[in-house]
């Protein structure tokens, strides 16, 4: 089962192009540090500014470099159902273990449209799907009746919930059953999310703190919430610093400080300001990731 700490990997750039060597090194480092899975080309991977060819290239690099050591969840979402179908088929072809599909953004489908979109993806190929519900970005919110209906389809196995409402986990258990995979999409509330029945987090901060994030999730999966709370306190400043400016700008700065990638983003995103740099430096020190 997909569970635990699953970093939504950044896409490293160098001189405007994908830094393939840095990406491969990140994959190895994440697995060595204990991450339980990897998301390729989610929002944290700057999917909006990658070409279709680059999007597919990053997925393939991560799948090949992982070599089956951990599950790879390919970002295959779009507000164009046909485009998402094509990304799903590509992810299946290159060996991804699942697909992460965001609720369609900007065109704002209603619940019937959401059901049609995800049913079409369920039917297009035999690849497990994790629905990504993030109303703050997509402006649409999948309601529990729609989710319940979709959860009965063969390939829809879980949800990444970024609503920030931890009580929703209990409602989802009621509507979709205890075996429906629930992953937090918000680092800071992952502790409460798992206490309500979640089994992991698709995480931004795990990019820079893979070992701590994996230990945090492992503690909760073992029911050791006392240890998890200690780790939460250690990680909280990093949670806060990571979202002071549009993601993934702060976490890319952190990874640059750790020597893992160039601090480079694609427009319209820009590198973080000096104040955010100072706060992130302090957060990295608090987590004992930086001297």
Q: How many CA atoms lie within 13 A of 5 on its CB side?
A: 26
**Sign of the C-alpha dihedral, residues 288, 9, 131, 243?**
positive
Instruction: Name the DSSP letter for residue 104.
Output: P
Give how far Cα 68 sits from Cα of 37, 74, 195, 266, Å.
Answer: 10, 14, 29, 30
- Of the residues 3, 92, 160, 260, only one is catalytic, namely 160
Residue with tokens 């306190």: 233
Residues with Cβ within 8 Å of 233's Cβ and at least 6 positions away in sequence, in order, are none
Distance CA 247, CA 254 (A): 12
| Tally of CB atoms within 10 A around 226 | 8
**Which residues in 34-165 belong to E strands, given as ranges?**
38-40, 72-75, 98-102, 129-133, 156-161
Say whether 132 is catalytic.
yes
Which two structure tokens, joined as six digits, stand for 152? 């009965």
97-123 in b/e form (b: 16+ CB < 10 A) is bbbbbbbbbeeebeeebbbebbbebbe
- Give the residue among 8, 2, 1 at the shortest CA–CA distance from 185: 8
Active-site residues, by number, are: 132, 160
């Amino acid at each position: 089962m997909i569970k635990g700490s699953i970093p939504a990997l950044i896409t490293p750039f160098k001189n405007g192009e994908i830094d393939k060597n840095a990406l491969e090194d990140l994959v190895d480092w994440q697995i060595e540090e204990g991450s339980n899975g990897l998301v390729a080309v989610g929002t944290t991977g700057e999917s909006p500014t990658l070409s279709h060819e680059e999007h597919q290239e990053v997925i393939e690099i991560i799948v090949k470099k992982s070599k089956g050591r951990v599950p790879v969840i390919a970002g295959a979402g779009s507000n164009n159902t046909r485009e998402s179908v094509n990304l799903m088929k590509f992810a299946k072809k290159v060996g991804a273990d699942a697909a992460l599909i965001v609720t369609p953004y900007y065109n704002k489908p209603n619940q019937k449209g959401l059901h049609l979109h995800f049913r079409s993806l369920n039917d297009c190929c035999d690849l497990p799907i994790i629905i990504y519900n993030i109303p703050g970005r997509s402006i649409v919110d999948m309601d529990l009746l729609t989710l319940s209906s979709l959860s009965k389809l063969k390939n829809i196995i879980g949800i990444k919930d970024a609503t920030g409402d931890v009580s929703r986990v209990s409602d989802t258990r009621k509507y979709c059953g205890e075996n429906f995979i629930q992953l937090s999409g918000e680092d800071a509330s992952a502790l409460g999310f798992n206490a309500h029945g979640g089994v992991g987090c698709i995480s931004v901060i795990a990019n820079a703190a893979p070992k701590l994030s994996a230990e945090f999730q492992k503690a909760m999966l073992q029911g050791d919430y006392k240890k998890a709370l200690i780790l939460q306190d250690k990680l909280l400043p990093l949670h806060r610093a990571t979202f002071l400016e549009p993601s993934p700008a702060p976490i890319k700065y952190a990874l640059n400080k750790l020597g893992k990638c160039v601090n480079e983003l694609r427009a319209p995103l820009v590198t973080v300001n000096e104040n955010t740099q100072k706060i992130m430096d302090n957060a990295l020190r608090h987590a004992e990731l930086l001297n």
